[in-house]
Structure 1
Amino acid sequence: MMTQPVPIAETLASLTHLVHALDALEPSYFGRKLAQAGTARDYYDIVLELDYAANSKWLRDTGDERVHHILNDIGSLVDRIDGFFRIKLWPGSTAQNQSWTHAVLRAPGGKYAFRDDGSLEISLLDARLQGETLTVKRIWNHVCNYSGSLIDFEIRLDEQQIAEVRARLASLRSFPLPL
């Protein structure tokens, strides 16, 4: 199932605007850190930290409704950015599910790799597709922290999954910072 591409340039511009608006009300270091990010990975890691902070007492405990509104808008944009840097894959058959389960359970930390819906949520920045084999280095699951869990496994994809992963990996090239 192909997902719609995320208009990343517009999303990043909106996030920058909101972070500046937030800084005007509740100063933080996120605007400076985002501006100094040298790679897509650096930028995304800062966005993940910002998302975590946006849901924490540190920023939410101001009592200023304007801050709460900005933080809610930031959360919405982070969801779109996550959609750019992550992909959810579901096994396409019982045999593929068994193969993935075997591969994932052999990896340290693999016990919790599958999400409650049976999918694997994979970081595209930390994945490599070679032929029909996807090498996975970072995932998100129901027990990980805000920056995902490091892991190392390989799974075989079917033709439709290969096409989707290829398209999503190609879309990463549109990010304004180097990968």
Structure 2
Amino acid sequence: MNCVGSILLKPSHLVSEDEILNTFKLNTFNSIATIKYGYKYMRKLGGSIVLFSSSAASIGLRNHDIISSSKGAIDSLVKSAAMTYSSNNIRINAVAPGLVDTNLSKTITENPLSLKYSIGMHPLGRIGKPSNVAGCVKWLIDPSSDWVTGQVIAVDGGLGNLK
């Protein structure tokens, strides 16, 4: 499993090349490395790799230019890599959370105006808890989901599909 992320909320014209590169290294390149090195250990017995995307990758959110493009690359990676490694019985999927109450999101959740705005974007009327996402990850790595591969599963309180 590769559970990394960042919150870089700037429009493209205000980000530095270093910010772009660092965001892609953290999100996209680390996901590729997870598959690359996971394959070495899973190629004979199979297994499940779970990556982390974001709902921001599939919808247009203001100032999410860099984060959404780096996570969108993960969505494409999941589909292609699932085909590449299926012959080794390696399943590759991703979860795409909305805003989840973690240390990473404190700049948003500790600002009352930002939190209210974010809650309003999620049709279920709240932001997520880590346990909401963990339940999906647990299911994806469980052998009972052995016919699920190449999927990006939204765990986002409806953010990605309900408006």
TM-score by length of 1: 0.27
Structure with larger Rg: 1
Structure with higher RCO (Cα < 8 A, 6+ apart): 2
Bigger strand fraction: 1
